[in-house]
Amino acid sequence: MRRDTLLVALAAFGFASPGLVSADDQPIGVAIVDAMNKAFGVHPGFRANHAKGVVVEGSFKASPEAAALSKAILFAGGTIPVTVRFSDATGIPELPDGAGPANPHGMAIKYHLPDGSDTDMVINSLKFFPVSSGEDFRDLLLAAAASPPDAAKPTKFDEFVAGHPTVPAAFATAATPDSFADEEYYGIDAFVFVDKDGARQAVRYQMVPERVVHLETADAGGKPPNFLMEELPARLQRGPVTFHLKAQLAAAGDSTKDPTQPWPDDRKVVDLGVLTIDKAVADSAAAEKPLLFMPGQLTDGIEASDDPLIDVRDEAYPESFSRRNP
Ligand code: HEM
C-alpha cells in the first residue's frame, strides 16, 4: 500500500492523530517533483525531469522466445506500432546535449497494442539507480539544490554522496553517446513476466543498439548544444534505426526490491524482439506535450515487481504532467 493511501486509511479508521495528514505531508511522488523543481528550476510547459527530448515513431516485433516467457499481447508476434521519446536528464530544457548533467539519457516507449490500449517502458542509460527509495531520491535532489557552485565544502551533496556510495557509482555508468541510436538503455526496475500457465519470472529490460558509441567528456562538451536532438531525425532520413529489446532473467535469490543492485552479468539474457524506429514526427515540441509515459502502465502478462520505485514513479510522472499541462 502506498504511504499516502495508508495515511488516509489510518485517518478513516480513527488511528491517525489530528494533523497527521497535513498539507506538508504530501505523497512522496509529489515531494520529488517539488525537489526536482528546486534542483532544476521551474520551466513552465516542460517535464520536471528529462525536459529536453525528441519524439520519433516505429514498430516492435516480438521473438518466439518472448511469447514463451509472457502471455502479454505485446509479445504475441504481431507488428506493434510505437511512439518513442529520447531525452536528456534534468528539468532544464536548454541544457546542451553534451553536458555532463544531460546523462543519463532517456528512452520512453509507448507500445500501441492491438486491443486499443497502450503499455509503456521508461528506461535510461544508467546500469543501476543511484538510490533505492523515493525518500532517498528526494533527499538527493534537495542536497543537489542546496549545493550551488559557491557552497561551502563539504556541500550537502558531498555529505549525501558520502553516505550513499551507489550515487557516484551509478552516475559513473553513463556517458554521452554520439547518437541516441548508439546508446544502450536499461529498465533498472524489475518487472514480472507471467506466461500462459501462470509461471512467473522476474526480469529487467535492456534496449540494445546495433553498436554503442560513447564520446570522451571533452568531445561531448564541444558538440553543438542540440546535436543529439538534431542527429536522430537526420539519421532517420537515411534509413531506420534498430534496437533489440532484451530481458535479463533473475535467478533464485536475486533481489527485485533494490534498483541500486544490478544482477550478476552471467544471468541469462533473452532476446524479446526488434524495435525499429523509422520516422521523426513533424513537430516534436507539440507531440511531446500530451505524451505521458508511465512505468506502471502495463498489460496483462507483465506485472510490477516489489521494487518500491515503480509506485513512486507512477505518482511523480502524472504530477509532473499535470504541472506542465495546467
Ligand atoms: C523514484 C524514482 C524516479 C522518479 C520519482 C522519477 C521521476 C520522473 C519525472 C517526474 C519525470 C517527468 C515525467 C513527465 O513529466 O512526463 C521523469 C521522466 C523520466 N524518467 Fe524518471 N523518475 C525516477 C526514476 C527513473 C528511472 C529508474 C528511470 C529509468 C530506468 C527513469 C527514466 C525517465 C525517463 C526516460 C523520463 C522521460 C520520460 C518522457 O520522455 O516522457 N526515471 N521521471
Residue 98 half-sphere exposure, CB side, CA atoms within 13 Å? 17
Compute the mean pLDDT over every residue in the chain, rounded to the nearest whole number: 93
Separation of CA 241 and ligand 1 centre (Å): 23
**Whether pLDDT at 14 is above 90:** no
If we measure between CA atoms, which residue out of 105, 76, 265 comes closest to residue 184?
105
**Pocket lining: 292 vs ligand 1, CB cutoff 6 Å:** yes
C-alpha R_g of the chain: 20
In this predicted model, what pLDDT tens digit does every residue of 67-113 receive, in sequence order? 999 999 999 999 999 999 999 999 999 999 999 999 999 999 999 99
Reported confidence tier of residue 25, pLDDT bands at 50, 70, 90: confident
pLDDT of residue 24: 59
Q: Which residues are known catalytic residues?
A: 50
CA angle (271 as vertex; 268, 274 as ends), nearest 5:
160
- Selection from 123, 122, 132 nearest residue 256 by Cα: 132
Q: Which atom of ligand 1 is nearest to the CA of 187?
A: 30
Distance of alpha carbon 272 from alpha carbon 70, whole angstroms: 10
- Whether the predicted pLDDT of 7 surpasses 80: no
**Cell output for 143:** 542536497
Counting beta carbons within 10 angstroms of the beta carbon of residue 190, is it exposed (0 to 12), middle (13 to 18) or buried (19 or more)? buried
Task: Please report, as a single letter, which amino acid is at residue 220.
Answer: A
Residue-wise pLDDT tens digits, 152-208:
999 999 999 999 999 999 999 999 999 999 999 999 999 999 999 999 999 999 999
Residue 212 pLDDT greater than 60, yes or no: yes
Contacts of residue 306, Cβ cutoff 8 Å, sequence gap at least 6:
256, 257
The sign of the dihedral angle between the CA atoms of 17, 18, 24, 25 is positive
**How far, in Å, is the centroid of ligand 1 from the Cα of 115?**
26
Helix axes of 309-324 and 134-145: crossing angle, nearest 10 degrees: 50
CA–CA distance, 61 with 204 (Å, rounded to integer)? 19
CB contact at 8 A, 315 and 296? no
Q: Check residue 177 and report its DSSP letter.
A: B
At 54, list the grid cell.
525528441
How far is the centre of ligand 1, averaged over its atoms, from the C-alpha of 11 (Å)?
31
The pLDDT of residue 3 is: 31
* pLDDT score of 27: 96
Distance from C-alpha of 100 to C-alpha of 124, rounded to nearest angstrom:
15
Task: Among 47, 127, 281, 321, say which to mutate for ligand 1: greatest number of ligand atoms within 8 Å of CB.
Answer: 47
Cα–Cα distance for residue pair 299/287, rounded to 1 Å: 24
Q: Which of 42, 46, 122, 135 to mutate to test the pocket of ligand 1 (most atoms within 8 A of CB)?
A: 122
pLDDT in tens, 266-321: 999 999 999 999 999 999 999 999 999 999 999 999 999 999 999 999 999 999 99
Residues 6+ away with beta carbon under 8 Å from 24: none
Percent of the chain with pLDDT over 90: 92
Give 110-163 pLDDT, tens digit per residue: 999 999 999 999 999 999 999 999 999 999 999 999 999 999 999 999 999 999
Cβ pair 177, 183 in contact under 8 A: yes
Share of the chain above pLDDT 70, in %: 93
Residue 1 above 60 pLDDT? Answer: no
